[in-house]
Structure 1
Amino acid sequence: MQSPVRFSSCRGVAFEIKPHSDPFAIGNETKDEPRSGSIRRLWPSWNQLNSSKVFPSSISKSMSLASSHFCDLDPDNNNDEEDDDYEDDVVLQKLEEGDHHDENSEKDHKPIIPSASKRQQGGARKQSGSRLSVILLDQGLFTVYKRLFAVCLTLNITGLVLAATGNFPYARNRTALFSIANIFALTLCRSEAFLRVVFWFVVKVFGRPWVPLPIKTATTSLLQSLGGIHSSCGVSSVAWLVYALVLTLKNRANTSSEIIIVASAILSLLCLSCLAAFPLVRHLHHNVFERFHRFAGWTSLALLWVFVVLTISYDPKTKSYSNQLGSRLIKQQEFWFTLAITVLIIIPWLTVRRVPVKISAPSGHASIIKFEGGVKSGILGRISPSPLSEWHAFGIISDGKSEHMMLAGAVGDFTRSLVSNPPSHLWVRQVHFAGLPYLTNMYDRVLLVATGSGICVFLSFLLQPSRANVCVLWVAKGIEQNFGKEIEEMMNMQPKDKVIVHDTAVLGRPNVSQMSVDAAKKFGAEIVIVTSNPEGSRDVVNACKASGIAAFGPIWDS
């Protein structure tokens, strides 16, 4: 019987949960496993050569939980039934979105790595708790995301209370407008085209040496946590619409049945969207969340236009609809907010194209997808085999000149098909989006920490000129074997003081948190940006902050 697949996601980063480890997961070798053969080039430790790119293998090992994410730090392949049940709850996968995993296809390809004792595993489980608690709680109860959510919700609730008590007559008379305004705000927080402009502007304005570091880090925290505003505005729009319906039903003589029916339908769809986005539902049933959010959103937008047209054209005195709609529409704020929402939603779909691609597979576990055209550093992109059903986000590797590429781990149906049956064309969104890595250019000296395929989004900072002086720390298993010579050569051609590579197939699994702290201090980094699984990112961020170094990593719903 096939195990269910679960997902949890961040902005541009979706993690798929599966019960078995991916061959890219990092782990220690067994005693019988040779330390040479498939890995042709071994980077020596700093203790052996001062010019090496690798930390010594004697570094203490991490205590992170097991994970099969392509970027994960410590896989745990136990065949015991108890451990399989545990892995079901805690194992994460990949940086691409929405791939399904076939458990049976992995059974014969488990990497051989030593496992901890039952007592040790039990201790790790006690410390880390459930995957959901790691995602939602381990980052803290008072994160910027949660504070933005609370502030936005408090402002809306305050407005509602004032309107209900008669102290805010404008809001009481325009309750539907406040609901639409909240929908506009949540759409704005998720508009990749708008945020691309915002990120560019922020880097231009704050990316100057004289801007204090606390202002830069505060801005980074804010931009990374816009999902808090998005979620809060979604809940607030429902609250305002409920209040609008209550007032409308109390004054039913001055409205029409059609308006009430359409408003009720919009409210139902908004409520279902909020329920689908609830963290537990989104964590366990990501595909349901993603598709429902999209199609329910489109349906709500269509109904919103109907609602705006009906409410503006309805005359309560004659109890009929006016024919002179155009002149009345352009004078109403509801019309302009709805138009803005429509434009923001349509823009990315206007850029969808089916483009030729060149796909090669350095191993049976990954593919390199090449596209025409250079892309700036720190940018991510989305690809799809079928644009209306699924989109997958990947970091982009580019020298900024003639082409760019993505590295896709073969961990789901779509990504495995890229290896076994590579297509000649894929659907892409030509408006690439900016995320946390893009803000690297706001700083002077940055340590970029990546595990596994997380290196993708950071490689561009090495291949093309960037304002920031960066050092890249990469921890992965079987560099040449799993990622191919092209990726390995990209790393090898960089100055030795700019790249630190730790191949766990050769040197064993390190304590990445301590490794990051040491590298940041040695490099003199202002901040550390990490791309790993939730536990790995959390550990690195917490370790750096404890050492007085600002650090950022992917967060839930960023």
Structure 2
Amino acid sequence: MSSSPLPTVAAPPYDDAEKGTLDVQVVKPAHVTLPLQDSADEKKGDLAVTTTVVPVVKKEAPATPPAKKPAKKPISKWILFVLWYNTYRKLFTICFGLNMIAFGFTIAGYWPYAQRYTGALIVGNLQMTCLMRNELFGRALYLFVNTCFAKWSPLWWRLGCTSVLQHLGGIHSGCGIAGFFWLVYRTVIVFKDHAVMHNAILSFGVITSSIILLACVSAFPIVRNTHHNVFERHHRFSGWAGLFSTWIFVILGDLWNTQTQTWNLSGVHLVRQQDFWYVVLMSTFIAIPWICTRKVEVEIELPSPKVAVLRFKRGMQQGLLARISRSAVMEYHAFGIISEGTHAKYHYLICGVQGDFTRGLVNNPLRTIWTRELKFAGVSNTSTLYRRGIRVCTGTGLGAALSTCLQSPYWYLIWIGSDQEKTFGPTISGLIHRHLGPERYCLWDSKQRGGRPDVMKLVKEAYVTWQAEVIFITSNWQGNQEIMAGCKEAGIPAFGTLWDFVMIAHWRTLAFPRRIWMALALDARRHPVNRPFYDVVISCGLVVNKW
């Protein structure tokens, strides 16, 4: 498949420094010996932690102060709705809605199959839930789409493929909640027939339902985004406990003969049941990523107190993300992988200091770290579908964006950040300047240029000049919303970071009175022992207001 030649037209600069300059005359930095390069006397044992001091070239102050930003144009409610009701929620609606229609027919007595084989519907939904989060399945799906539909298929089809692949989590959550409903229905049926059921089946019906409910509640956006460690621990360990109890519930239900009220211990009878094989597949999907978990060597560079750059052995293809942790089973964190290609000797992660985990990487650098060798694919992995594209990122979002531009000459990079070279160090800067020509990037340093740019002006100009088909965005919540809304309004195909944060800052709009909120917060401060209770009450208020 041949690709069109690179455009040679340089991106036009803007007059107003505040609105978004797209300079093509980029001053290249002085040659600096990169701390993460090979050396002849490199030790073969533990890797050393390198702290790099980056020379800063004094810049002249701007002749005039940056112009005042114009008032932002309000975003139409329709665009906001389209952005909110994305493919994730559409897939959730389809999966959960179809299950609920079937659920209604079953309760009404119009679907005898579901009444007889409820266990198969339970475990079938839970199996799909696990499959959608399986790294191997995801990589296979991305590989199939990228191989079969790259560049030749209609743009609307390629955009649809990217959107579905990015939002597979909608199937994960839709089938998960539907599986819980079927599980409750099965438990109710078991209790209605308690006279002919064994007590162990009754007990594990309740236990399994409770555990799956905990897994579902812990994944609510308000829990996942405001208490991520709580989500990580409860969702993972309740998932494992749910798998164990599901095994017992299924086996007990299949082996118990309600007519004779005896156990049928024949293995032949067990392996002929649908739900048994569904549980086998579900267990396999869960086990595969953990089989690939390894403790590997890592070298950490600390170019500034805000950022840690991690270096690992072997190169990677573009569009992948890595999960790393200090523990083999606890609190895995995902970061975009930077690599020059599969032929490279190393790949890198950019970790911004935002929480306890990343702060620990700076304060207490590691020599080894736990990771899953089987990496999972992100939306950037579909960049091969498009003839040309633009990668927009802010701050540490460069980690998820840079590989695409390094490995393909048909992608343009827009990176917005503050004091970029000093903050991120010469390793990252060297990767950019060695592999990307000045015509292929716009590096906006807000500290040097006197403020943030008009991002949409940058994007629109680059979109036309670069003849792009799509734009991928990696930014914080506010930046992502602004760029996505602007692109949607301008008719530019764009895919952004998946954010579903509840805006806690707007707590004054909650349904229950502000005085009650303030009283709870004040009492929680005076009596820390009561804080968990008040957290639950406040969270319930947020949930009510959200829905």
Q: TM-score range by the shorter chain?
A: 0.7 to 0.9
1:551 to partner: Cα distance: 0.5
Q: Please name the residue that 2:194 is paired with.
A: 252
1:359 to partner: Cα distance: 1.2
1:61 to partner: Cα distance: 7.7
Deviations 1:372-427 (A, max 9, x none): 11110111101111122211111111112211111112233322232233211111
Residues 54 and 500, structure 1, Cα contact 8 Å, conserved in 2: no
Residues 145 and 227, structure 1, Cα contact 8 Å, conserved in 2: yes
**Alignment match of 1:269 (pick from 211, 223, 232):** 211
Deviations 1:266-324 (A, max 9, x none): 11111222222222233322221221000101001001111121111112233221232
Q: Please name the residue that 1:402 is paired with.
A: 345
Query: Can you give the 5+ residue segments of structure 2 that lack an aligned partner in the other structure?
Result: 1-8, 22-67, 502-547
Q: Please name the residue that 2:252 is paired with.
A: 310
Q: Please name the residue that 1:60 is paired with.
A: 19
Q: Please name the residue that 1:368 is paired with.
A: 309
Deviations 1:537-557 (A, max 9, x none): 121122122222100001237
1:519 to partner: Cα distance: 1.1
Is 1:423 paired with 2:366?
A: yes
Is 1:528 paired with 2:471?
A: yes
Taking the aligned partners of 2:137 and 2:413, their CA distance within structure 1 comes to 29
- Taking structure 1 as reference, are residues 496 and 270 closer, same or farther at Cα in structure 2, changes over 3 Å only? same
Q: Computing the radius of gyration over CA atoms, which structure comes out larger, 1 or 2?
A: 2
- Taking structure 1 as reference, are residues 253 and 55 closer, same or farther at Cα in structure 2, changes over 3 Å only? farther
Is 1:292 paired with 2:234?
A: yes
1:137 to partner: Cα distance: 6.7
Q: Please name the residue that 2:447 is paired with.
A: 505
Q: Please name the residue that 2:99 is paired with.
A: 156
- Taking structure 1 as reference, are residues 547 and 183 closer, same or farther at Cα in structure 2, changes over 3 Å only? same
Q: Please tell me the residue identity of whatever aligns with 2:355.
A: G
- Taking structure 1 as reference, are residues 519 and 343 closer, same or farther at Cα in structure 2, changes over 3 Å only? same
Is 1:234 paired with 2:176?
A: yes
**Alignment match of 1:448 (pick from 391, 407, 410):** 391
Secondary structure in 1 aligned to 2:439? coil
1:226 to partner: Cα distance: 1.6
Q: How many residues align?
A: 440
Deviations 1:482-515 (A, max 9, x none): 0111211222231222111111111121111221
Secondary structure in 2 aligned to 1:329? helix
Q: Please name the residue that 2:63 is paired with.
A: none
Is 1:204 paired with 2:163?
A: no
> Which structure dedicates a bigger proportion of its chain to helix?
2
Residues 204 and 245, structure 2, Cα contact 8 Å, conserved in 1: yes
Secondary structure in 2 aligned to 1:497? helix
* Deviates most, 404-413 or 189-198: 404-413
Secondary structure in 1 aligned to 2:121? helix
- Taking structure 1 as reference, are residues 492 and 273 closer, same or farther at Cα in structure 2, changes over 3 Å only? same
Q: Please name the residue that 1:71 is paired with.
A: none
**Alignment match of 2:131 (pick from 188, 202, 206):** 188
Deviations 1:21-44 (A, max 9, x none): xxxxxxxxxxxxxxxxxxxxxxxx
Secondary structure in 1 aligned to 2:371? strand
Taking the aligned partners of 1:393 and 1:55, their CA distance within structure 2 comes to 36
Q: Please name the residue that 2:274 is paired with.
A: 333
Taking the aligned partners of 1:462 and 1:554, their CA distance within structure 2 comes to 18
Q: Please name the residue that 2:410 is paired with.
A: 469
Taking the aligned partners of 2:478 and 2:500, their CA distance within structure 1 comes to 16
Is 1:172 paired with 2:131?
A: no
1:185 to partner: Cα distance: 1.0
Q: Please tell me the residue identity of whatever aligns with 2:475.
A: S
Is 1:145 paired with 2:88?
A: yes
Taking the aligned partners of 1:363 and 1:286, their CA distance within structure 2 comes to 26
Deviations 1:235-286 (A, max 9, x none): 2111111211222222223321111110111111112222222222333222
- Taking structure 1 as reference, are residues 398 and 53 closer, same or farther at Cα in structure 2, changes over 3 Å only? farther
1:57 to partner: Cα distance: 5.2
- Taking structure 1 as reference, are residues 543 and 160 closer, same or farther at Cα in structure 2, changes over 3 Å only? same
Taking the aligned partners of 1:257 and 1:273, their CA distance within structure 2 comes to 25
Q: Please tell me the residue identity of whatever aligns with 2:433.
A: N
Taking the aligned partners of 1:170 and 1:382, their CA distance within structure 2 comes to 41
TM-score by length of 1: 0.74
Percent of aligned positions with the same letter in both sequences?
36
Query: Can you give the 5+ residue segments of structure 1 that lack an aligned partner in the other structure?
Result: 1-49, 63-119
Q: Please tell me the residue identity of whatever aligns with 2:439.
A: D
Residues 57 and 510, structure 1, Cα contact 8 Å, conserved in 2: no
> Which of structures 1 and 2 has the larger relative contact order (alpha carbons within 8 angstroms, sep 6+)?
1
- Taking structure 1 as reference, are residues 276 and 444 closer, same or farther at Cα in structure 2, changes over 3 Å only? same
Secondary structure in 2 aligned to 1:396? strand
Secondary structure in 1 aligned to 2:460? helix
Q: Please tell me the residue identity of whatever aligns with 1:381.
A: A
Taking the aligned partners of 2:287 and 2:329, their CA distance within structure 1 comes to 13
Residues 397 and 405, structure 1, Cα contact 8 Å, conserved in 2: yes
Residues 11 and 461, structure 2, Cα contact 8 Å, conserved in 1: no
Residues 227 and 557, structure 1, Cα contact 8 Å, conserved in 2: no
Secondary structure in 1 aligned to 2:175? helix
1:221 to partner: Cα distance: 1.3
TM-score by length of 2: 0.76
Taking the aligned partners of 1:359 and 1:235, their CA distance within structure 2 comes to 41
Residues 124 and 278, structure 2, Cα contact 8 Å, conserved in 1: yes
Taking the aligned partners of 1:279 and 1:532, their CA distance within structure 2 comes to 19
